[in-house]
Amino acid sequence: MQKNRKVTIELDLDEALVLFEWSYRFMEINKLQFSCQAEPIVIDQIASELEMSLKEPFEDAYPQKLAEAQKSIASKILIATDPDDAKAYYSMGVAYEELNQNKLAIAAYKEAIALEPAGKNAARARRLIEGLSKQ
């Protein structure tokens, strides 16, 4: 094993915000148990890197951005678990819309409609697509 080899982990912004929040909260309450002294050091280093890389935790809108990131990740997990779940795609569309990622929101809404054209959220998804397309 190379001692000083660097390992890079790529996270999208949603993942980075959720990880930052967890690491910050964890370091504040220190409730997890570690099996060795190296573990909290590594977690603290990751948290420090996130803190230096992210501007969002220091913005007034951070709680909203964090909630949106959490919703987006939850929707992705639901879709990975059941790719035919129209409600999960609709929820993902809502999350993307809240993040002002309108093209991704439209694509998610269209997928929800394709899976359940007469479903509970289909009419709403069509209206949302229409509104987003005008922007």
Distance CA 72, CA 78 (A): 10
Domains of the chain in sequence order: 13-58 (no CATH), 62-134 (1.25.40.10)
> Which DSSP string corresponds to 52-83?
HH-SGGGSTTHHHHHHHHHHHHHHHHHHHH-T
User: Is 0.95 surpassed by the pTM of this model?
Assistant: no
Please determine, for residue 77, whether its predicted confidence score (pLDDT) is greater than 70. yes
Does residue 129 contact residue 104 with C-beta atoms inside 8 Å?
A: no
pLDDT digits (tens, 9 = 90+) for 95-125: 888 878 899 899 999 999 999 999 889 999 9
Q: pLDDT tens for residues 3-38?
A: 566 768 788 888 888 888 888 777 777 666 777 788
For CA atoms 90, 94, 97, 101, give the dihedral sign: negative
> If we measure between CA atoms, which residue out of 20, 21, 17 comes closest to residue 99?
17
